[in-house]
């Protein structure tokens, strides 16, 4: 004979409310304990800052921050998601770093650009961020000591390399000390948030190109207006209800705009790689890139082959080769190479020394932690 299943008695609304109160009280107690631990961390960071000031050590160390998050991911038993650790601790680190000494970071402004968003993603909301008008001005601010760090776009998965950044790397005496990858998602923003009000669509030429199919399908008759940046487009939309801007969610918040549609880009793999520049070398993190720029004699047959052969023979992988013309020297070029490993590693050092021996000139731009070391990785 089949026995009927036993059912637990129905819980009354009073029972549910009582249980919610009990659980929320426990959550509040945990939050207070977290706050106490955060204040203990802040006291320790302040002590670290005092030591750094007396020793002259840099405030920002990219490899240290990555190691913090990596260790936390390895120790995490759940159910808190691993992917949530990086953004949470980025803000904790940003807040406590301000107790050491505010780190001034220059970026390609104004507020609301994707460079601004990348700076926020890398350094957190409490970083001392300063927008400047051009990429060379970011480099100049770091070289002249107006900012300790700068963040600049160097490569986009859709549009390719940012030539202004390569040219500035060759011109200015700075060091690449970190990188960041930002997933570029374009929103259509306006004052009203209504697509029927839109007569013109404004943005930087790259976002306009990257959203071409969506615009053709949904706003085929709207005028396209090119602006110097997505932030300028957002500012234009804030003052004219008939204008919609293509930009980031950060731009929408900065300029008080509503979203008509999110993620209107044609490609979902659209990302921009940013470089963090400074004046201090980054120590090895265990997963690094080294950037170097060479020149070779234009009249030497097989010069490029001889330049890169030492990397291949020593098992050093090249991840990128870019070239830029040398100003004032027609048909001569700068060769920018990114290779896996830190300059302090024996095989990397040997490869660089051998390549330098056949090059006309060599300059190591920096060794730095790869962005994809972080558990979650995030233009203009």
User: For residues 286-322, b (16+ Cβ closer than 10 Å) or e, as one string?
Assistant: ebbbbbbbbbbeeeeeebeebbbebbeebebeeeeeb
> Is residue 336 annotated as part of the catalytic site, yes or no?
no
Catalytic residue among 96, 175, 227, 272: 272
Active site residue 272: yes
Structure tokens given for 157: 């998965």
Q: What phi and psi values does residue 136 have, to the nearest 5 degrees?
A: -60, -30
Q: Can you say whether the dihedral through the CA atoms of 57, 61, 63, 64 is positive or negative?
A: positive
Tokens read off for 266: 């044609």
Task: Using DSSP, state whether 219 is helix, strand or coil.
Answer: coil
Q: Closest by alpha carbon to 149, among 100, 102, 182, 92?
A: 102
E-strand spans in the chain?
Answer: 104-108, 128-132, 149-156, 160-161, 175-183, 187-190, 200-203, 223-226, 243-247, 258-261, 271-278, 288-295, 318-325, 333-340, 361-369
Q: Is the CB of residue 117 less than 8 Å from the CB of residue 156?
A: no
Residue found under tokens 């691993």: 82
Would the CA dihedral through 288, 290, 291, 296 be positive or negative? negative
| Residue 256 DSSP label | T
| Strand-pair partners of 200 | 223, 243
Q: Tokens 């060091």 — which residue?
A: 175
In the set 114, 123, 274, 294, the catalytic residue is: 274
Two tokens, residue 218: 């949904």
Active site residues: 272, 274
């Amino acid at each position: 004979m089949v026995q009927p299943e036993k059912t637990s008695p129905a819980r009354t609304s009073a029972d549910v409310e009582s249980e919610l109160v009990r659980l929320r009280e426990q959550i509040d107690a945990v939050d207070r304990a977290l706050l106490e631990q955060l204040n203990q961390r802040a006291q320790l960071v302040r002590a670290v800052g005092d030591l750094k000031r007396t020793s002259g050590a840099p405030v920002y160390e990219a490899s240290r921050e990555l190691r913090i998050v990596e260790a936390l991911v390895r120790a995490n038993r759940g159910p808190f998601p691993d992917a949530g650790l990086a953004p949470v601790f980025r803000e904790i680190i940003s807040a406590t770093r301000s107790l050491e000494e505010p780190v001034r970071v220059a970026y390609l402004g104004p507020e609301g650009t994707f460079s601004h968003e990348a700076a926020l993603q890398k350094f957190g909301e409490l970083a001392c961020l300063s927008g400047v008008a051009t990429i060379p001005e970011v480099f100049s601010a770091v070289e002249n000591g107006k900012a300790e760090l700068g963040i600049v776009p160097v490569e986009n998965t859709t549009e390719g390399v940012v030539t202004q950044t390569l040219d500035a790397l060759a011109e200015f005496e700075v060091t690449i000390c970190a990188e960041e990858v930002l997933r570029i998602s374009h929103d259509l923003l306006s004052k009203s948030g209504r697509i029927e009000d839109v007569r013109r669509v404004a943005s930087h030429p790259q976002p306009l190109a990257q959203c071409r199919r969506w615009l053709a399908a949904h706003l085929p008759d709207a005028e396209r207006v090119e602006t110097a940046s997505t932030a300028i487009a957002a500012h234009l939309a804030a003052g004219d209800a008939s204008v919609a801007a293509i930009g980031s969610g950060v731009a929408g918040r900065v300029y008080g705009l509503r979203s008509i549609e999110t993620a209107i880009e044609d490609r979902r793999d659209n990302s921009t790689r940013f470089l963090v520049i400074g004046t201090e070398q980054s120590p090895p993190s265990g997963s690094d890139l080294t950037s170097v720029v060479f020149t070779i004699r234009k009249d030497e047959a097989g010069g490029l082959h001889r330049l890169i052969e030492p990397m291949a023979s020593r098992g050093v992988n090249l991840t990128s080769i870019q070239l830029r013309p040398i100003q004032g020297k027609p048909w001569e070029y700068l060769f920018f190479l990114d290779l896996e490993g830190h300059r302090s590693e024996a095989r990397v050092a040997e490869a660089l020394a051998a390549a330098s021996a056949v090059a006309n000139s060599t300059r190591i731009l920096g060794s730095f932690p790869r962005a994809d070391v972080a558990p979650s990785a995030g233009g203009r």
